[in-house]
Amino acid sequence: MPTYEEARSIVLESVAPLGAERVETGRALGRTLAEKVAAPWPLPFCDNSAMDGYAVRAVDCRGPARLKITGYIPAGGTASVEVTPGCAVKIMTGAPIPPGCDAVIPFEETSFAEDHVVVNGRVMVGQHIRFRGEDVREGDVVLQEGTPLRPAEISMLASLGKAFVPVYRKVRVAVLSTGDELIELGEPPSPGTIINSNSLAVAAAVRETGAVPVLLGIARDDIASHAGKISEGLKADALITTAGVSAGDRDLVREVLAGLGVASRFWRVDVKPGGPTAFGMKDGVPVFSLPGNPVSALITFEAFVRPALLRMMGRKSVVRPLVKATLTGEVRKKPGKVNFLRVGIEVRGGEFFASSAGDQNTGILRTMVLADALAVLPADKTAFAAGETVDVFLLGETLR
C-alpha cells in the first residue's frame, strides 16, 4: 500500500498537461500560460513623466530659478514643444518627455507666478522620468510557460498588446456518485436514504481548481448501472467516482473499472482518512475512486485529485504550500499512517496557531466545515504536545 507521498507521486507521474488553446486575455484569469511570452516592444514605450509638474533642463535649476512656461503636454499629448534654455513645459503624468527636457519637477515643489514657475529645490538629471524600456526591454521574456495568470500577469499581457493568450485547456472532469442509498438534492429524504452531497461537493472542488465538472449523477449498485456511467465518464479528461471502493459486497467500482480496461495503479493508500482511495489510468484518462464518506471524499480530493488536475492544466507548482503552525492542544494518533487533522487556524502576532476543529471521525462533516486547514501529521509519530509545531496546508485563500 503506497504512503501519502508515494501515492501522490504515482498520480502526478501518470498525468500530463492537456493541449493548449487561445483565450482572450480579459478572460484568462486563473489559467496557465502554455507558451512563454516575450515583449514585442519596451515598457514604457517612450520616456514619459512620472509626475504632474514641469519638464525642465536640470542645468537651469542648479539654484533658485524662475523659468518661463512655454507649453503644455497633457497625458495622451505629443512631445511637440521643445524645452529651451531658461524655460519649462507643463507636463502631466504619463505624457511623453519633450526634446531638451532631462528632469521633471512636481507641481508641489514649485510656485507659480503669472507665466513663470519658480523652482527652489535642487533638481537632479533624470528625476521623475520613466525611461523607455526601464521596466521591460524589447524581446525580454517576461512570462514563462507554466505561469498561472493572476491580475499582475493580465496587466503585463495587456501592456504588451497581447489580446489573446495561449493557455492550457481546462480539464473536463466527470463526477460520478455510486450507491443505492443516494437520492438527489431536492428529493424528500427518508430513513435509509442519503442526499448525494458528494457530487456537488466534488464538483465544487473541481471548479475551485479551475477545471470543469461534468455531473454524471448516480450509479446504482449493479454492474450494468456502474458500467454505463463509468464508460460515459471515461470520455472526459478525468473521472472521479465516490463510494463503492471499500470492502463492502456492494462495492463494485474496482471490478467495473478493471472490466472496462482501467489499469489500477493503487487501490488503497496508507492515510487516514481516505484509506480506500483507488487510482487507475485508461488511455491517458486518470480515474480517481474516492471513498463515499463526504469528509474522506473531500480530503482525498485535496491530497490526490487537486494536484493532478492542476498538473493537467499546466501548473508546475501543484500542492498547496505547507506552513508551520503551533498546536494549541495535545493531539494523539495511531502509528503507521499519515493523518490529516481538521484544524481551525488563528493568526496571532503573525504566527499560525492550529486547534483541532473537534471530532475527527470521518462521519463528522461539521468539523470539515469548521476547518481552515488540514494538519499533515507524520506516519510514525503518535503524540503531539501543545506548543509543538506541525505542517498545515490552508484550504482556502483566506481564513474564514
Q: Minimum distance between the CB of residue 279 and ligand AMP, rounded to whole angstroms?
A: 16
Among 25, 127, 147, 177, binds ligand AMP (CB under 6 A): 177
Among 17, 42, 179, 274, binds Mg ion (CB under 5 A): 179
Only one of the segments 67-75, 145-153, 166-174, 236-244 lies at the binding site for ligand AMP (rule: CB under 6 A); that segment is: 236-244
Task: Record the cell numbers describing residue 394, joined without a space.
Answer: 490552508
**E strands of 124-178, at which residues?**
129-130, 141-143, 164-168, 172-178
Amino acid 67 reads L
Quote the Cα angle for 244-208-316, to 5°: 100
**What DSSP line would sit under 274-292, residue for residue?**
--S-EEEEETTEEEEEE-S
Cβ pair 143, 35 in contact under 8 A: no
Among 18, 243, 305, 354, binds Mg ion (CB under 5 A): 243
Query: Using the rule CB under 5 A, is 276 a contact of Mg ion?
Result: no
- String of contacts with ligand AMP for each residue 264-303, x by CB under 6 A: ---------------------------xxxx---------
Among 98, 179, 307, 314, binds ligand AMP (CB under 6 A): 179
Three-state secondary-structure class, residue 155 = helix
Cβ pair 123, 61 in contact under 8 A: yes
**Which is closer to ligand AMP, CB of 242 or CB of 300?**
242
Cβ pair 310, 363 in contact under 8 A: no
CA distances from 117 to 87, 105, 109, 122, 168 (A): 9, 10, 10, 15, 56
Q: Minimum distance between the CB of residue 281 and Mg ion, rounded to whole angstroms?
A: 24
The residue count for binding ligand AMP (CB under 6 A) is: 18
Q: Minimum distance between the CB of residue 337 and Mg ion, rounded to whole angstroms?
A: 22
- String of contacts with ligand AMP for each residue 239-268, x by CB under 6 A: ---xxx-x-x--------------------
**Which is closer to ligand AMP, CB of 147 or CB of 362?**
362
Q: Report the alpha-carbon distance of residue 80 to residue 101 in Å, rounded.
A: 12
Looking up cell 523659468, which residue turns up? 67
Closest alpha carbon to 274 in 247, 244, 303, 254: 303
Q: Minimum distance between the CB of residue 272 and Mg ion, rounded to whole angstroms?
A: 19
Among 21, 109, 145, 181, binds ligand AMP (CB under 6 A): 181
Residue number of the CB closest to Mg ion reads 179
Q: Report the alpha-carbon distance of residue 12 to residue 21 in Å, rounded.
A: 22
User: Which does residue 50 touch among Mg ion, ligand AMP, none (CB within 5 to 8 A, set by kind)?
Assistant: none
Q: Which secondary structure element, helix H or strand E, spans residue 145, and what is its range? A: none
Q: Report the alpha-carbon distance of residue 294 to residue 217 in Å, rounded.
A: 16
Residue 118 DSSP one-character state: E
Q: Minimum distance between the CB of residue 139 and ligand AMP, rounded to whole angstroms?
A: 53
In the region spanning residues 198 to 227, those forming contacts with ligand AMP, defined by CB under 6 A, are 198-199
Task: Record the cell numbers describing residue 302, joined without a space.
Answer: 485535496
Only one of the segments 38-46, 78-86, 129-137, 239-247 lies at the binding site for Mg ion (rule: CB under 5 A); that segment is: 239-247
Among 196, 209, 339, 367, binds ligand AMP (CB under 6 A): 196
Name the residues that contact ligand AMP, by CB under 6 A: 177, 179, 181-182, 194, 196-199, 242-244, 246, 248, 291-294
Name the residues that contact Mg ion, by CB under 5 A: 179, 243-244
